[in-house]
Amino acid sequence: MQKRKCEFGNFVLVPELGWKISQSFIDFESGLLVISTSDENESNWKDTGFGSRIIPTKEYIIDPNNGDILPREKWSKFFSYEPNELISKDGKYKLVTTRVHNEERDSDSIKEELMDLSSGKTLSSGKGIAFQKEKRETALERLYREKEELEKRKAELDAMPTLKEFLALELDKLEDGDIILEYYNSEDIFKLIYSDSVFQLLKVSVSFRYDLEWNSLNYFLEKSFSSIQDFVSEFLTDKMWFLNHSTFNSKRDGSKSNQLLKKFVVEFFNELRKNHDFSFDDYNKIQQWENHFYERDSVKPKEYKQFCSNCKSPVSYYPRYPKYICSNCSAKKITDESGLELSFSNIGMSGGLRITYKKDGEIVKEDTSQWQKLCFIEGKRFIATEARFGGIVIQTEK
């Protein structure tokens, strides 16, 4: 690297031929300049076998006062490689931090071990990058930050209304002329409004299009309801209402209509999820209706309910996987069509589906060529796939 003027000092950083500078920063702890370079020759990149490649890199530690590239025996003098113990202020935890040199990479890493002093158990251990532009957050600091965030989030959740309380709040702020719901079917467009202390269902016989001249539509009164419950009782009588009708929002400012119907819609779909009385195609329509009434933090998340598609036990609400099974059911014996026992895992950090076949407890083969796998639990058909953000999800086939 040649010495010329640059932002870090009276020198410029010029990488080797065929390499490029990928990052440069002043190390927070030492004040040394850290330069990382990467090989631009793709023929030198190594295929991981998991859909990604490893790019060769080199790291340089530079004295910003004069631009000299420092060998390890010089820059290592800026740091201590002895274990450092820290007891938390409340005396509950001990953090042991050690700076470790990696000979192969000719760089340092930070090794941390966080222990619970009352039980003697290790809460976390791992390594991280040593050279950092910003102050490094320790495992102890992260523990207390996450605890604080968890307590804050819990307080926020506790303060949210239930569906019943939410309905009462929406009724309190109801104003004359409020639009409660807009929806359509193959023949008509409907609008439910609050007017003169009643709920009026208006209708116009026209095919729905988003580019309609909404202000010129002539709605006619279809029916009046003395309460929102009366409308719900009639509208939800048809169990296929969510398939036969679609909701929309004609407000050009993007604001939502009054959320009076949220309680009834969510409770209706909760019951559907409990009985799994829907197909995957049906669930696309369910999501459209629920999303129409969705507002983050409007009600307690636990008001949205979901159930294991096998044993019907309550599970966490994951609308992306409406028919997934609980951990107890996924821990049961899983087989393929021929009776071989199956287990599933990700191929690597980048995900993927690995299928392991066993017979009499011994591995027969492994397969990473499929993105989903038909499997059987207690004679029932399921599909195993890679989850979106890693892990494995097993759902009923239909």
| The length of the chain, given as a count of residues | 398
pLDDT for 285 equals 94
Residues 257-285: pLDDT tens digits?
A: 679 999 999 999 999 999 999 999 999 99
**pLDDT at position 2:** 45
Task: Extract the tokens encoding 244.
Answer: 């036969």
Please, what is the Cα angle at 143 between 140 and 148, to 5 degrees?
130
| CB proximity list for 246: less than 8 A, separation 6 or greater | 183, 184, 185, 208, 285, 288
Those residues of the chain that have pLDDT short of 70 are: 1-5, 50, 252-257, 350
Q: What is the pLDDT of residue 13?
A: 87
Residue with the two structure tokens 């935890």:
93
pLDDT digits (tens, 9 = 90+) for 381-394: 999 999 988 899 99
